[in-house]
């Protein structure tokens, strides 16, 4: 069987458990050398342990692959830079960045504290930005030296960020930001041979099994639609050289279903040719809304 990532070098953040673990294992099966990043924090982001990352590295080596551990806090700018350097110094380069790390502190909006907001935004949004920023700088330098790589970035958004989710204001805001970051990065980095896409995975993980217990129940038999491993083959292909014509996309994965998300688009419009008067706006806007597509419902409504 051909391996679509033979000889390529990947970083997977948050790869000690759940979806990230499955990504790391699948990328290794497909021939990639993997930097397995995980801080080993609890579900709410507190504490640290190197055990989860070491276990994944051991599993990859047992299957005959190559992997090293990394315990960086991905939202720390300098630690993220060191993680990229580790990949280059250990394996001779970097081709793939899978941004996956994150945690939740779910609250209804009126109960969310400033500390909870800052912590979740930091790990998801800055935790995507910092590794991407340093990887992009490396790829730009490589391109300028005539060594342009077929580089791939796969970010992790969520249905909560695309459609919204009750009780997850902070998480939804962070994941929406990741989707927008993906679009801009794709536009900026294409000149250096870099594609940037995002997935919106659906899976049974520490973050979802308590929030959506009925949806995340174990499959009684047959195909388990909530298995985290369902998402990883899509990530592996997006990380391949073959996927060079796909960028700036957000792809939702649920069981055996792949869905290309269609985000904000210009809809119905009316140009009055001058500044609007406040009393004119109501009728015009209601007419436009009547012909616009209905928004999808927020999860949990």
Residues designated catalytic: 158, 171, 175
Those residues whose C-beta lies under 8 Å from the C-beta of residue 219, and which sit 6 or more positions away, are 225, 226, 227
Residues in the chain: 301
Residues 6+ away with beta carbon under 8 Å from 18:
203, 205, 206, 207, 228
What order of strands is seen across the sheet that includes strand 250-254? 67-70, 33-37, 9-12, 96-98, 151-156, 194-202, 250-254, 257-260
Compute CA distances 85 → 11, 70, 217, whole Å: 11, 11, 40
User: Which stretches of the chain are assigned E, i.e. beta strand?
Assistant: 9-12, 33-37, 67-70, 96-98, 151-156, 194-202, 250-254, 257-260
Rounded to whole angstroms, the Cα distance separating 277 from 209 reads 50
**Alpha carbon distance 204, 221 (integer Å):** 16
Nearest to 182 by CA among 238, 228, 229, 233: 238
Pair 193, 150: CB distance under 8 Å: yes
From CA 232, how far away is CA 174, in angstroms rounded? 22
């Amino acid at each position: 069987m051909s391996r679509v990532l033979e000889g390529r070098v990947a970083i997977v953040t948050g790869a000690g458990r759940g979806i990230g673990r499955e990504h790391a294992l699948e990328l290794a099966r497909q021939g990639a050398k993997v930097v397995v990043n995980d801080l080993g924090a609890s579900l709410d982001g507190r504490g640290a342990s190197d055990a989860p990352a070491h276990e994944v590295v051991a599993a990859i080596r047992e299957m005959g692959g190559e992997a090293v551990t990394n315990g960086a806090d991905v939202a720390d700018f300098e630690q993220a830079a060191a993680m990229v350097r580790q990949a280059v110094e250990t394996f001779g380069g970097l081709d793939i960045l899978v941004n996956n790390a994150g945690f939740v502190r779910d609250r209804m909006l009126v109960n969310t504290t400033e500390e909870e907001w800052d912590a979740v935004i930091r790990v998801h949004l800055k935790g995507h930005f910092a590794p991407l920023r340093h990887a992009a700088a490396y790829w730009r330098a490589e391109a300028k030296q005539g060594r342009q790589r077929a580089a791939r970035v796969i970010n992790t958004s969520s249905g909560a960020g695309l459609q919204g989710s009750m009780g997850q204001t902070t998480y939804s805001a962070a994941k929406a930001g990741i989707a927008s970051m993906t679009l801009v990065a794709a536009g900026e980095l294409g000149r250096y041979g870099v594609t940037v896409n995002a997935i919106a995975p659906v899976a049974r993980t520490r973050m979802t099994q308590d929030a959506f217990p009925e949806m995340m129940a174990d499959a009684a038999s047959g195909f388990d639609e909530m298995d985290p491993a369902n998402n990883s083959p899509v990530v592996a292909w997006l990380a391949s050289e073959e996927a060079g014509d796909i960028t700036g996309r957000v792809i939702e994965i649920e069981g055996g279903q792949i869905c290309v998300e269609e985000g904000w688009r210009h809809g119905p419009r009316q140009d009055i040719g001058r500044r609007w008067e406040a009393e004119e706006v109501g009728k015009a806007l209601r007419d436009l809304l009547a012909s616009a597509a209905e928004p999808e419902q927020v999860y949990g409504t």
